[in-house]
Amino acid sequence: MAKNLIPGEPVLIAPGVRRLVAPNPGMMTGPGTNTYLIGEQNIAVIDPGPAIDKHLEKIKEVTPGKICWVLVTHTHPDHSPGAMPLAQSTGAELMGISAPSGKVQDKTFIPHHKLNDGDSLETEEFLIHAVHTPGHASNHLCFLHETLNWLFTGDHIMNGSTVVIDPPDGNMKHYLESLKRLKTFNLSVLAPGHGDTMDNPKKVIDWLINHRLNRESKVVKALKKYPNLTLHDLTPFVYADVGSHLHQLASRSLLAHLIKLETDGKAVAKNERWCLSS
């Protein structure tokens, strides 16, 4: 674990930007969820993480100013459940997009102010734009800190782990489109929801797009060689490079690829068995 990603130990990572890692490390969350505090006087908190009292107290303890806004990238359980209690105890305004249907969604997050793509939050210290980036989650937002050209990426881009695209709320086609769109912004640093900051945003984004397209071409090859298999039976052929203990998880990503290929008119499913379109 990077020595500056220790839960409970705040780090000043840029002028007016503090990162506090939540104490929820794990396979899917890396060192833990990154909570960011933006500003010195009137503070915007990005992703308070799970509703862990110790973490929420720490956010209030380390903030240099008054917490005025709580911004949420998406409503998965490791990002947003702390938002409502933090807002209630500070009087902050909740901003983001409420949860779509689905069992892994945090329904407690109800924004006071629903954010749309392009909406901004401006103070004397910073200007932040919301960028709608569906893919990992349909209600996913990245936050562009225009003064610094930093992008807070939530789970759209992580450092150290692969982003899970779990249908139906997760959508591979949207994910790739969102990544391509981010390349049109002038970015200097990516600040992810898990793991350390990343320089060279264009290079990182290109790598991610290529990684997914390479996997997609493996899917096409497997469909050609082994037509009419179920999702379960197709998984080991596409993910031969991934340990079998991860195949259950990988099958969700495979389904996301298959749905994309189906949308692109390149694959079809008959009785839950997949093959290439003729």
- For residue 33, give the nearest of 3, 14, 8, 66 by alpha carbon: 8
DSSP state of 72: -
CB nearer to Zn ion: give 39 or 81: 81
Cβ 16 to Zn ion shortest distance, Å? 24
What whole-number distance in Å separates Cα of residue 248 and Cα of residue 78?
21
Q: Which is nearer to Zn ion, 25 or 236 (CB)?
A: 25
Which of 155/216 has CB closer to Zn ion? Answer: 155
Name the residues that contact Zn ion, by CB under 5 A.
78, 155, 193
CA distance readout (Å), 244 to 33, 249, 251, 255: 27, 10, 11, 17
Contact predicate 76/104, CB 8 Å: yes
Closer Cβ to Zn ion, 135 or 193, answer by number? 193
Q: Write down the least CB distance from residue 79 to Zn ion, Å.
A: 5
The answer to whether the beta carbons of residues 159 and 137 sit under 8 Å apart is no
Q: Do residues 44 and 38 make contact, with C-beta atoms less than 8 angstroms apart?
A: yes
Nearer to Zn ion, 78 or 106 (CB): 78
Minimum CB distance to Zn ion, residue 29 (Å): 6
> In DSSP terms, which residues pair with 128 in a beta bridge?
121, 145
Q: Which is nearer to Zn ion, 22 or 254 (CB)?
A: 22
Q: Are 84 and 74 in contact (CB under 8 A)?
A: no
Contact 87, 111 (CB under 8 A): no
Smallest distance from Zn ion to CB 155, Å: 4
- Residue 165 beta carbon to Zn ion: minimum distance, rounded to whole angstroms: 13
Contacts of 206 (CB under 8 A, 6+ apart): 183
C-alpha 207, offset from chain centre: 17
Of 73 and 235, CB closest to Zn ion: 73
We find the least distance from the C-beta atom of residue 76 to Zn ion, in angstroms, to be 6
Query: Minimum distance from CB of 28 to Zn ion (Å)?
Result: 7
CA angle 141, 146, 152 (to 5 degrees): 35
Element housing 43 (H / E): strand 42-46
